[in-house]
Amino acid sequence: MPGMFIIETPVALRSQPASSTSSPRSTPNGKDASLYQFFAPGGVLAHTHPAYEFRRGQLQMAQAVEQALEEKRHLIVEAGTGTGKTLAYLMPVIRSGKRVIISTGTKNLQEQLFYKDIPFLEQALFGAASGEAETSRPRLSVCYMKGRNNYLCRKKLYDLTGQPVLSGLDEIEQYRAIAAWEKTTATGDRAELAELPETSALWHKLDARTEACIGQKCSEYERCFITEMRRRGMESDIIIVNHHLFFADLAIKLQAEGAPDAGILPEAAAVIFDEAHELEDVAGNYFGISVSNLRVEDLARDVEASLQHNKMMSASLSGALGSLRERSQFFFSLLPPGEGRFAFETRREFLEENGDEFLALNQALTRVAGELEGLPQKPQEIFNFVRRAQELQVQLGFAMESDDRNTVFWIERRGGRANSPRRHGGTEKTGRQNVFLQATPIDVGPILRECLWAKLECAVLTSATLAVGGGFEYIRQRLGLEHARESVLPSHFDYENQALFYVPPDLPDARTPQFVALAVERIRKLLEITRGRAFVLFTSYAQMNDVYQRLLGELKFPLLKQGDAPEATLLEEFRLRPKAVLFATPSF
């Protein structure tokens, strides 16, 4: 199962749901204003923001969202670029007095909502009049939730102290910085560590991902960053998450069959899905499975670290872990070659030829689980390791042997390139490559219909790109959303005068060897024309890193790359350096 997730720093904002009854005055206070009085020319928003321009689509969207919340109906609304969608749904949410989850496609939009839009609206609606006491203002509790791997696990950090498992000077320096930071941080959010590289291997050993979590039985449970954030999240009125977190939570609750302590998100009256065009892909990932050599290695590493820390390592266990690593490496190296993502259409033929290696990996997992179960007086995390080993076996069996017709089976390779393995002569490869066996449902509509839409009072789906041919039949069918109001609002963006769309007519297919060199030359020319000041976006990390390295000494502009620092740090540097160029992927 995908990892769980947790909440970032909740902030108490000085606001509360307002009455929907508008004041008879021509310019009412923000909290007394109707939606029209708030968004209209000369209204509250115009008085609060001197650069505000009235957009009729923004008002229409706000009214549609408010009606959906009041009538407990689902709503699909396409609002073009420049509509001002976030304010259009935040205003009705604040006025409703209901607990609402807002789910976005990216962390950047989460941060915009939490650090910019909600504080702005709170000031516009509930800003204190002259002489008004600070404590007399109403308050609204809002929190911003991230994935668990963004947070430090104190137990892992303490267990690592004194253990000889750090690799190189970089990890030693990073460990010292993290250990010092842990003593002062109130959140445990790695975003506070601006100097920590996004690709830090040490952080992966210390984060609070769910696989190694033992919950209330942990010695650090009461001081856990996740425990504290969960408490505050339960007290919040507006909860800002992203789609990955939302569907990971939903999948965990489904797996737990409604257990009251499953998941992390509290019950909510409504969910707003911004950037909703991504919902189908994200939901498919979390209702499917993913088995990889990386998951096996993570298990072996965690078991090894725990046994060494608890002085329980034996020759038998060391041999079992060594066998598991060897069997995993060989099995995943035998999978069909290919770059990126591709269909695994030859599973039956693969098992006929490599069935012994498949069985050997299963037996290695069984051996590790058996050795762990046989330990006397074992610490609580050992039971978690046994569960993980057994879960890997079940999911590996499904990925390789299932005939489910609503599932597509595919392979994804990430990282360094590998040569095709020799069946009896080992493999040759350069760089580290992780191989993922994926099984994803073809149609998530029935799952969402039963497990999400039927249980929500109100869901609002919005994006600039939802309609096909002016209607929503396609997305409703793909997402299983049968009964919903619909609205298509035009864009207020002046594409004709403010945008240029350029498609190089002479570049070869991106999969050909010569593509990167020719693309680099074209990108260089475009950046010289724009004098830097650009995002350069890629569909893969490998391509991004390749192009970045080729351009590093060729351009006079500052070059920034996703992964070299936390995203917020990169964006701030991009803003402060006028000619900077930022290389990133869609996950940025």
Residues contacting residue 225 through CB under 8 Å, at least 6 positions apart: 6, 151, 152, 154, 185, 187, 188, 189, 208
The kind and range of the H/E element at 77 are strand 75-79
- Token pair listed for 110: 């989460």
Largest CA distance in the chain: 85
Q: Determine the average pLDDT of the residues in 189-206.
A: 88
> What is the pLDDT averaged over residues 59-88?
95
Region 148-177 average pLDDT: 83
Dist CA 292 CA 329 (whole Å): 10
pLDDT at res. 533: 92
Q: Are 480 and 448 in contact (CB under 8 A)?
A: yes
Estimate the share of the chain in helix, then strand, then coil, as percent rounded to the nearest 5.
50, 15, 35
Residue 572 DSSP SS3: helix
Summary mean pLDDT of the chain: 86
367 vs 258, residue with greater confidence: 367
Mean pLDDT, to the nearest integer, of 252-259?
Answer: 74
Q: How far are the Cα atoms of 217, 386, 395 from residue 147, in angstroms, in the given order?
A: 21, 24, 23
Q: Encode pLDDT of 93-115 as tens digits.
A: 999 999 999 999 988 899 999 99
- When pLDDT is averaged across residues 493-504 and rounded to a whole number, the result is 86
Residue 19 has pLDDT above 60, yes or no: no
pLDDT at 548 over 70: yes
User: How would you classify the pairing of strands 485-489 and 75-79?
Assistant: parallel
Does the pLDDT of residue 523 top 80, yes or no? yes
**500-584 CATH pick, 3.40.50.300, 3.40.50.10490, 3.50.50.60, 3.30.750.210:** 3.40.50.300
pLDDT at 422 over 80: no
Q: Give the span between the Cα atoms of 376 and 565, in whole angstroms.
A: 44
**pLDDT tier for residue 390 given thresholds of 50, 70 and 90:** very high
- Spatial distance between the Cα atoms of 263 and 260, rounded to a whole number of angstroms: 9
Q: Which of 424, 451, 23 is nearest to 247 (CA)?
A: 451
Radius of gyration of the chain (CA): 26
Calpha distance 96→108 (Å, rounded): 26
Confidence at 424, pLDDT banded by 50, 70, 90: very low
Band of the pLDDT at 61, cuts 50, 70, 90? Answer: very high
Triad 574, 580, 584: Cα angle to 5°: 70
Task: Give the pLDDT band of residue 541 (cuts 50, 70, 90).
Answer: confident
pLDDT value, residue 198? 81
For the chain, give the percent of residues with pLDDT over 70.
88
**DSSP bridge pairs for 485:** 75
Average pLDDT over residues 75-102: 94
Tokens of 319: 């041999």
Q: Phi-psi region for residue 42, left (φ > 0), alpha (ψ -120 to 50) or beta?
A: left
50 burial class (0-12, 13-18, 19+ CB within 10 angstroms)?
Answer: exposed
Residue 502: φ, ψ to 5°: -120, 125
Residue 369 dihedral angles phi and psi, to the nearest 5°:
-60, -40
pLDDT at 171: 85
Highest mean predicted confidence (pLDDT) among 21-30, 59-68, 550-559:
59-68
Q: Confidence class of residue 163 from pLDDT cuts 50, 70 and 90?
A: low
pLDDT attached to residue 11: 41
**Which among 27-41, 117-131, 186-200, 254-268 has the top mean pLDDT?**
186-200
User: What six digits make up the tokens of 396?
Assistant: 């590996």
Determine the pLDDT at residue 233.
83
Residues 6+ apart with CB under 8 A from 218: 155, 224, 380
Q: What are phi and psi of 40, to 5 degrees?
A: -65, 160
**Other Cβ atoms closer than 10 A to 171:** 16
d(CA 442, CA 465): 21
Q: Which of 422, 432, 389, 396 is nearest to 292 (CA)?
A: 396
Residue ranges per structural domain of the chain? 12-32+56-141+236-282+446-489, 152-226, 288-440, 500-584
Per DSSP, which regions of 279-406 are E strands?
289-292, 341-343
pLDDT of amino acid 67: 97
What DSSP designation does 421 have?
P
Partners of 583 in beta bridges: 536, 561
Please state which of the ranges 233-237, 263-267, 428-432, 480-484 shows the lowest mean pLDDT: 428-432
Instruction: Check pLDDT > 50 for residue 579.
Output: yes
Q: How far, in Å, CA of 131 to CA of 126, rounded? A: 14
Average pLDDT over residues 432-454: 92
**Residue 403's pLDDT band (boundaries 50, 70, 90)?**
very high
Residues 392, 291: contact at Cβ < 8 Å?
A: yes
Dihedral pair phi/psi, residue 240, rounded to 5°: -100, 120
Q: What is the mean pLDDT of residues 341-346?
A: 93
Rounded to 5 degrees, φ, ψ at 118 are -70, -45
Which range is least confidently modeled, 5-9, 244-248, 435-439, 539-543? Answer: 5-9
The confidence score (pLDDT) of residue 20 equals: 36
| Architecture in CATH of 288-440 | Orthogonal Bundle (1.10)
> Could you give the dihedral angle defined by the CA atoms of residues 104, 105, 108 and 110, in that order, rounded to the nearest 10 degrees?
20
pLDDT at position 586 is: 79
Rounded distance between C-alpha atoms, residue 249 and residue 147, angstroms? 10
Instruction: Supply the pLDDT for residue 287.
Output: 92
Q: Which one-letter DSSP state was computed for residue 426?
A: B
Which two three-digit tokens encode residue 249?
């939570």
- Half-sphere CA count of 210, side-chain side, radius 13 A: 16
42-46, 210-214, 350-354: range with lowest mean pLDDT: 210-214
Distance, CA of 26 to CA of 28 (rounded, Å): 6
Whether the per-residue pLDDT at 24 is higher than 80: the answer is no
Q: What is the CATH architecture of 12-32+56-141+236-282+446-489?
A: 3-Layer(aba) Sandwich (3.40)
> Could you check whether 12-32+56-141+236-282+446-489 and 500-584 share the same CATH topology?
yes
Supply the pLDDT for residue 26: 54
Mean pLDDT, residues 406-424 taken together: 68
pLDDT of 126 reads 82
pLDDT of residue 421 exceeding 70, the answer is: no
Burial (CB count <10 Å: 0-12, 13-18, 19+), residue 337: middle
d(CA 90, CA 113): 9
pLDDT at 28: 62
DSSP per residue, 147-201: EGGGBB-HHHHHHHTT-S---HHHHHHHHHHHHHHHTT-SS-BGGG-TTS-TT-H
Please, which pLDDT band fits residue 524 given cuts at 50, 70 and 90?
Answer: very high
Q: How far is Cα 448 from Cα 287, in angstroms, rounded to an integer?
A: 10
Mean pLDDT, residues 7-20 taken together: 37
**Span 299-339, pLDDT tens digits:** 999 999 899 888 999 999 999 999 999 999 999 999 999 88
